[in-house]
Amino acid sequence: MEIYQRLCPGQSILKPRHATLRTLYHPRNPVEVLDSGALILSFPAPYTATGEDILELHVHGGNAVVKSLLRAIPLVAASNGVKPDAHTIRYAEPGEFTRRAFYNGLLDLTQVEALGDILSAETEQQRRIAVKGSSSVLAQQYESWRQLLLHARGELEALIDFSEDQHFDESPSRLITSVKKQVLDLKAQVQASIENASRGELLRKGIDIAFVGAPNAGKSSLLNRIVGREAAIVSEEAGTTRDVVNVGVDIGGFHCRFGDLAGLRNKPSDQGVTIGSIELEGMRRARERALVADVVVAVLSISPSCNQDGSCSTVDVNPQVASTLRLCDTEKQVVVYVINKIDLVGSNENIPKLQALLKKQISDGDLPLSRVPILVTSCISDLPPHSVADGIQPLLESLVVLFRDLTATSDVDSAAWEVSLGATERQRLLLEQCLKNLQDFIDQADEDPADQELEPGSIDIVMAAESLRSAANGLARITGVGEAANVEEVLGVVFEK
């Protein structure tokens, strides 16, 4: 309130949580008006965003007004005879208000990370996933898992400390079996959360899409049509694209990173055209980029033998394109086949023939399988209505359906697990370490046959309990709760964003 009293001398005390119109004066010269109509709000602790007293000054937005006020506020302390320094009145450090909210128990680490995602969200899907993570549900889930592990660890340690002195209601074998069952159930939940977190990363960081195809298949034209501008050079000359052209765009609320790659030409020459060292390097980069993309779009053009009379023999898939597609990891990547230049087909009846020809190559094992139906498109912008090619829109709609499938929750009860999509990469890595510790415990518990009566010491109960302790500590580091949370270390990672 000292700042308010110096900026508004002689004016009445503010009513908490009520907007009040005031005139702001210079603290050293009460005659000098800084702003004649500022809106001021006072928020007393602890019911504030940070848990501390907050004074909000809503001034006119001109740069000169704002700068004069920022210069005047540090002088409040000096006007009281106190030398202003970094510990009196200063600018907040990056993320300091959020840090104070965390220290005062108003936010947990998962909510802090979600707040950063909300501030950096650019698409609708990014905003939605960030909002999911901003609730306390995720932290409550992790904390409930940690408490379960603490309880299980306590049972094991009691067996270690008192097995010779006390009588237990359960035999050691039954106790180990009971704890193991709890850990198996928890392992399944952690695994599902990790899978959902990986799907959430696609929403947060964007879906990486690579266009793979032969020279002049229409990859650059397709990219330009999707992004709505001339992002890549288009020419009738084959091999125009020599390097990877990356473009980010919002498709149906999904942030997508499209990569237009160099055309993959047969070596050492394709139709008598010699391949130079620059084009060879472009082809190497194209294959490298394709193998790390989330979605690989194989852009295939109609073979010259496909004429408007419908005499189609094949879809043009050269050996370099086919070999690159076969290298894709279909467990982690999705291959989408797009037949381009479909406007060259004279009749709608010929399109199923082309799709059937390509489908046969896929079924014969020449090309990897795809979970998406074979798509057709044309990059011509002035197609007549109801023409054989419907343009780019059907392709975009199919991609949006694929993106929704890629980012859907993996658990049956999707409503309950949807919040786990908001888990960050830091949380996912700690969950993976927790999963490893849980598996270590299960392996240790499996060392003895289940039908034999365990005697104390027949398995290394100390090591088993240590595995549970490590798993619980990993969960503590996610939320910042517990003795092993290492809060300062984690905050450094979180707040550096």
HEC sequence for 13-63: CCCCCCCEEEEEECCCCCCCEEEEEEEEEEECCCCCCCCCCEEEEECCCCH
| Cβ pair 429, 372 in contact under 8 A | no
Rounded CA-CA distance 322/212 in Å is 10
What is the model's pLDDT at position 86? 44
Residue 150 has pLDDT above 50, yes or no: yes
Q: Are 233 and 262 in contact (CB under 8 A)?
A: no
Q: How many Å apart are CA 222 and CA 338, to the nearest integer?
A: 10
d(CA 220, CA 262): 9
Out of 30-44, 249-263, 338-352, 474-488, give the one with best mean pLDDT: 30-44
> What pLDDT does 32 receive?
92
pLDDT at 376: 83
Range picked from 42-51, 124-133, 280-289, 422-431 for highest mean pLDDT: 42-51
pLDDT, averaged across the chain: 79
Q: Give the residue from 154, 381, 124 showing the smallest Cα distance to 255.
A: 124
Mean per-residue pLDDT for 33-46?
93
- Pairing type for strands 20-25 and 33-43 reads antiparallel
Specify burial of residue 483 (Cβ count, 10 A radius: 0-12, 13-18, 19+).
Answer: exposed
Name the band, by pLDDT with cuts 50, 70 and 90, for residue 365: confident
User: Span 481-495, mean pLDDT?
Assistant: 61
Residue 230: predicted pLDDT: 53
Query: Who contacts 425 (Cβ-Cβ below 8 Å, separation ≥6)?
Result: 197, 201
H or E element: which one contains 154? helix 137-162
| Threshold 0.85, pTM exceeds | no
Spell out the alpha helix ranges (H) of 206-276.
219-227
Which candidate, 160, 265, 176, places its Cα nearest to that of 217? 265
Residue 181 near residue 170 (C-beta atoms within 8 A): no
Q: What residue has token string 């990469």?
A: 425
| Highest mean pLDDT (candidates 25-34, 327-336, 449-458) | 25-34
Radius of gyration of the chain (CA): 32
Does the pLDDT value for residue 271 go beyond 60? no
